[in-house]
Structure 1
């Protein structure tokens, strides 16, 4: 008798369950600056070990590099200890620290902070408590903003994870009827810079806490948009939002619990003119909650990092913005799992 019934296969379970093996290989390579080093010329195992100051055996170095090759991050000539390695196209574009397209900042923060905090996800689920620096009595944002090195890493991380979204938004959102934009919690002013570069008629303001302003100004000067982008200091819970035709929040709204989300939405409404647009750029979860896995795991990351923060669906966003007085919403897909949820006044 022929068996047609589907046979259970454990491979998917093992692939996901042991996924941290391959994740940590990539995170380690980024943190070590391997891809930036390999931009200059292909290297042998021995050359890489010397340059990167690795003291493991040649065979373990080969295991590490061949894993990166098998995952598509490195090209390889030859097989074995005499192999020569170089970057793949994507690694060359996105993981070279000297390029403006670099997205490794988020991966470095994942390696240096999040990887260890996620080891305690079980505790977060059981206790409902954050599992980051706050476990030692520190406020996460105070801990980051009080240390310049950590702050710069955090800003680079946010830039890396959002760059494709910001460029996509700057190109695909219809700015025709608008002249001014304010990015609330604008970090390194990356979104404002991209809008200014792609929309010459727009003037943009990036608002964040005082320690961020020098970093934002450095980026504004680097991209030569000082005539249309400015960075200002402020606390978005304490201060009124600057008036603007478009109010944007990139990876801000998901940091907070329901009450504070509603406060920020109402402040955006009050700062906008009639027909103005409120835009949040995040990993908006699909309304059916079954396909944007990254959005749902990012929401778990908010539990790890903030305790009360969470990601949400467009339906959630529609409900909250309607409560604040907005008349309609729409979704603008951006890069990967991210979207711009837009509410119109």
Structure 2
């Protein structure tokens, strides 16, 4: 018989799809609002097929996302409700949808990579962000996934960054503003400018309006490969360097060094590998980076090495209670 670890490796794709469909069709919302319920009751309330739903619920219970009672009812497992609550900063639905609708299909490229090499295969493919931002709907889906992935932890990372007294921060590749919003909420004297591709502008404007941030949250359109970065006391990169190879990262960090005022700092916010190659989420997303971008995940020591090569010193690592952490470099 296969071990439980082998079972998880073989059948993980089923639980991911079950998670996505249960979120998409409001199953978690129903269970959280109405309490434990049978598949028949949930199916009737959500107007979905009972037999298919029951099979999905069995899968989710087998991976402890749901708990099944002796009376045949299901409930969301203790501690997981925030991850399925669309109003919670921990909500993961948008990110799971991205995994299912985008990442899963692209994993087929790995076979080609193994036989021909990534450089050869990618030479025939469009650039990563030409795919991600190829139209408004694709841009919206990606930015929603990034918000789900980033906003909750950003509240903690903003605290770890210690930005008291900092007046200006430029969030490089800041998307629709997850870290910017968290930082602005914590530091009332701070102003943030998101620097990102022009296609992101309308989505950042929606965030500014919805969050009531008015003049404190700005947008600077540009391409960080072609344009200089806006000057600031602090520049931040959240899930940016993991998109690129080491040389490109150092080039970007040198631009950040030039834009950073004397005595300022740069913040890197990334998943981090442990020395033993874990955790699983980082290892899995490292594989995702291989097919969706040109980058990889790294250890804290590797990120500190990139910072030092770009000229930054006093490099420190600050670990959060989530799976995204903070590395800080200072400009002398």
Secondary structure of 1:301's counterpart equals helix
Q: Do the aligned partners of 2:234 and 2:264 also contact (CA within 8 Å) in 1?
A: yes
Aligned equivalent of 1:48, options 42, 45, 57:
42
Q: 1:117: which partner in 2?
A: 106
The separation in 2 between residues aligned to 1:298 and 1:99, in whole angstroms, is 23
Structure 2: runs of 5+ lacking an equivalent: none
Query: Is 1:26 equivalent to 2:13 in the alignment?
Result: no
| Offset at residue 18 of structure 1 (A) | 2.7
Query: Is 1:61 equivalent to 2:53 in the alignment?
Result: yes
Query: Is 1:36 equivalent to 2:24 in the alignment?
Result: no
Q: CA 1:276 to 1:95, structure 2 compared with 1: closer, same or farther past 3 Å?
A: same
Q: 2:289: which partner in 1?
A: 302
Alignment of 1:246-257 (within 5 A): 246-257=234-245
Q: CA 1:221 to 1:333, structure 2 compared with 1: closer, same or farther past 3 Å?
A: same
Q: CA 1:101 to 1:165, structure 2 compared with 1: closer, same or farther past 3 Å?
A: closer
Secondary structure of 1:157's counterpart equals helix
| Offset at residue 296 of structure 1 (A) | 3.1
Bigger Cα displacement from structure 2, 163-172 vs 97-106: 97-106
Q: Do the aligned partners of 1:284 and 1:311 also contact (CA within 8 Å) in 2?
A: yes
Corresponding pairs, count: 330
Q: 1:312: which partner in 2?
A: 298
Q: 2:259: which partner in 1?
A: 271
Q: 2:183: which partner in 1?
A: 195
| Offset at residue 93 of structure 1 (A) | 1.9
Q: Do the aligned partners of 1:103 and 1:163 also contact (CA within 8 Å) in 2?
A: no
Superposed CA deviations along residues 269-322 of structure 1, whole A, max 9, x for unmatched, are 001112211111111223x2433343233222111112x312222222222222
Backbone CA RMSD of aligned residues: 2.7
Query: Is 1:164 equivalent to 2:156 in the alignment?
Result: no
Q: 1:213: which partner in 2?
A: 201
Secondary structure of 1:260's counterpart equals helix
Secondary structure of 1:240's counterpart equals coil
Q: Do the aligned partners of 2:165 and 2:189 also contact (CA within 8 Å) in 1?
A: no
Q: CA 1:114 to 1:9, structure 2 compared with 1: closer, same or farther past 3 Å?
A: closer
The separation in 1 between residues aligned to 2:118 and 2:75, in whole angstroms, is 43
The separation in 2 between residues aligned to 1:101 and 1:10, in whole angstroms, is 31
